[in-house]
Amino acid sequence: MRRRTALVFILLTGCGKSPQSDIQYIKQARSIAAEWALVNEQASAGQITAIYASSMHRWLHDELRTASKSLSQPHSRYGLEIRVLLAEPKDTSPDRLQRHAAQLKQIESHLESA
């Protein structure tokens, strides 16, 4: 019986996901933040229509929410950063969005080197 219990325990611990499994979602969130910054920059310069900007904001927010829900460790530092990004208003300054992207890049790089 002990062997069986030990085997089940070993199998269950192997099933846990690590932060490395979330790198794809961190990259996705970083890319979304950068694209959002570009949309806002172009919108403020009058280079894209308000309808296009609004539709992009909806699409980017939906993609970011999906990435956030897919995290294996939503209460991690990167999970918090993505939730903070999700809470930003659609007209957030491009600089602020780029700071979020930079923060996510730093986390991503740290996880990739671990």
Q: Is residue 6 assigned to a domain?
A: no
> What's the pLDDT band for 7 if we cut at 50, 70, 90?
very low
What total of structural domains would you count in the chain?
1
pLDDT of residue 17: 66
pLDDT of residue 3: 57
Q: Is residue 82 assigned to a domain?
A: yes
Q: Is residue 47 assigned to a domain?
A: yes
> Domain span at residue 50?
27-113
Q: Whole-model pTM?
A: 0.83
Q: Is residue 10 assigned to a domain?
A: no
What is the Cα–Cα distance from 34 to 94, expressed in whole angstroms? 8
pLDDT of residue 62: 98
pLDDT reading at 15 higher than 50:
no
Q: Is residue 89 assigned to a domain?
A: yes
47-70 confidence digits (pLDDT tens): 999 999 999 999 999 999 999 999
Q: Is residue 84 assigned to a domain?
A: yes
What is the Cα–Cα distance from 22 to 112, expressed in whole angstroms? 11
What mean pLDDT do residues 7-12 have?
40
Q: Is residue 22 assigned to a domain?
A: no
